[in-house]
Structure 1
Amino acid sequence: MSRYARGAVAPTLWAARAGVAERAVRDRHLRRVWGLPGTALGRAAWPPGPGQRLFTEWNYWWQAHLLDCLVDAQLRDPVPDRARVVRQLVRGIRVRNLGSWTNSYYDDVAWLGLALLRASDHLGLDTGAAVARITEQLRAGWTDHGGGGIWWRRGDTFKNVPANGPAAILLARAQRAPTGGDRADRQRARSMTNWMTRALRDPETGLLFDGLHVAPDGSITDVTRIFYPYCQGVYLGACVELGAHDPGGGWLERAVDVVYATAGHLAPAGVITATPGGDGGLFAGILTRYLALAVPYLPTDAADVARGLVLASADAAWRNRTVAPGGPVFPAEWARPADQPDPHRPERALSVQLSGWMVLEAAARLERPA
């Protein structure tokens, strides 16, 4: 057993804890969009201010992860009520996005595409048209500037792992989906993952930098040398997605490398470090999702490391929770006790609470039979 495998507990306990987290997030954050029947959306903060109540602040990509968490929960404990909520959330996202599935950010739309595809695969929702629209936009995002990759957003000069990672995962999955992707999507996924390896992998640590800026002539002007947890998660996810169907392509060796790099540099005492508040509230949770998904495909030693990181992080998030009306409040940094949510604390953000729920669902996934 790896020295990182801490926090392991009795079977089924993580599923129960994930259920508690789900109820807290749903009770506090999930509401109709502008009072419209048959819709739902996650308020971006609790207690909510006017902007969250009216959904003038709504954080498109956070809703994608809320949808992903609900799909996780339905796989853990399938019930008709949750399937209904999933349909309402999908409808609510489109209503709030004024009838569109996309926006200008390639990372945002890739996240929603992944969640919609999972809702189709596991719950039978008809999301084919939405996924097709999203994948069409992602395909169009590739250029040779900076050596390849897709942009962070339209009209920008930045290319990064947070856009290319989820896009690669989505395109690899969509190519196999019943809804039918483009036959070249798998090669696009390979190209995106190879670009991340070539352009943004730090040779000293084995971790992925955030992204790079390019000039109009395509030359690289600057590299953002920050190691965000979710960059490692989506790169790992892309390598595993490709390696699961091409074990001889070297993809799983890259997955092993990033698991060990994450354990060595981003998880003091085995607990994944957080990026508190705002969008950063989701970063650690995303990493645990893809660590858990990677476990069945990794060699034993690397699988033990990945499993240990998830379980130790889940244990820390649960142990350091606080209690408020509606249930637990998870800490912005899992290794430290949570603060009571208020306008000045990151625990108020939906992103932070989704990350706490996400790590518990990842742990629950690991305790289910393979």
Structure 2
Amino acid sequence: MFVHTNLRLALAMGLVAAVTTTTWAAPPWANLIPFQRVEADAEKTYELTEEHGPWLIMATSFTGPGAEKDANDLVLELRKDYGLEAYTWHQSYDYTDSVVGKGYDRYGGPKKMRYMNDVSFTSYVVMVGNFQTVDESGVEKTLNKIKTAKPKVFKDSYTVKNDTIKTIRQKLREAIDSEDDKEKGPMGNAFVTRNPLLPEEYFRPKGMDELVLKMNKDNQYSLLNCPGKYTVRVATFRGAVELDQKKIDEIEQKNIVSGTRLAVAAEKAEKLAGALRKQGVEAYSFHDRSESIVTVGSFETVGTPRRDGKIEINPQVKRIMDGYKGGTGTATIEGGTAPSYKPKSLNGIVFDVQPLPVEVPKVSIAADYARRPLR
């Protein structure tokens, strides 16, 4: 079996350390650390879930015959002898199928290629978790502890004993590593990563601020209810723009969103969205601290890549853009004429001259996970 220290996995969320009596005797120093008793029951398996920390440490991974047993044995040893909340997680990889390469074949079709090593395998990963942030106290200490640990499983397991590549790597490392590196054990390449079972939305840096969320969540035509990833912005209504830094600070501190122009902008957006809905159009409105917009449609993609590297725009997206864009004409100016654009309107409310596809704003779900009760 092979120990893949270069495996990069996305990970995230959770929380829990079972504080129960274990079937194993704890090491002598365990009692010196409060609240650190970790369950280590040989009759159980400890599989990773979304509740085992947004951030974890990937200790190592195993593949090949006996990989699953080795991963479970290591988890048990880390729990019993090191007091670490370790878990297993597995993922399958298949490199036997052909893939589309660069260029074209002699018939003008996309070039088909195969991996040099066309194999399929399942990797069993050992994670140490329950970190809420990467800066949490204890992360660095735990990481160093894992990197220097020398669990017995790496000496006794079938897969590790028969891992020729790992043996060669170890010999090379012993020959070239610095004194500091030589202190590292078989998990010396451990690193902090995200819980792969949490959705990507959990890790959005900040998400929508609370004030903007309140402005939109109860609206009848709120863009937050749009099911797609993209929509087409057909109208934009801007409020007042403040440049004075003192006033900006006051607005942020007091959560001020008013102002006659901003209120008028929001009212126009709601009226236009309502008028479009009456025509059977899938219209949405969205308001933030500086403007309000109206959009039409819901799409999973704006377009598809072409062979020449350009994007073939989604026909439905293009139809909406063309349907609401302004008309062209000419205007007389000093010294001649110039192209002019006349925006379309509905019930006296004008559309943008050039509608554009935009990404649908999504509410960060990190707060929802953070509010879950601890178990």
Q: Which structure would you say has the larger Rg?
A: 2
Q: Comparing both chains, which one has the higher relative contact order based on Cα–Cα distances under 8 Å and sequence gaps of 6 or more?
A: 1
Structure with bigger helix share is 1
TM exceeding 0.5: no
| TM-score of the aligned structures, taking structure 2 as reference length | 0.20
Relative to the length of structure 1, the TM-score reads 0.21
Which protein is richer in strand relative to its size? 2
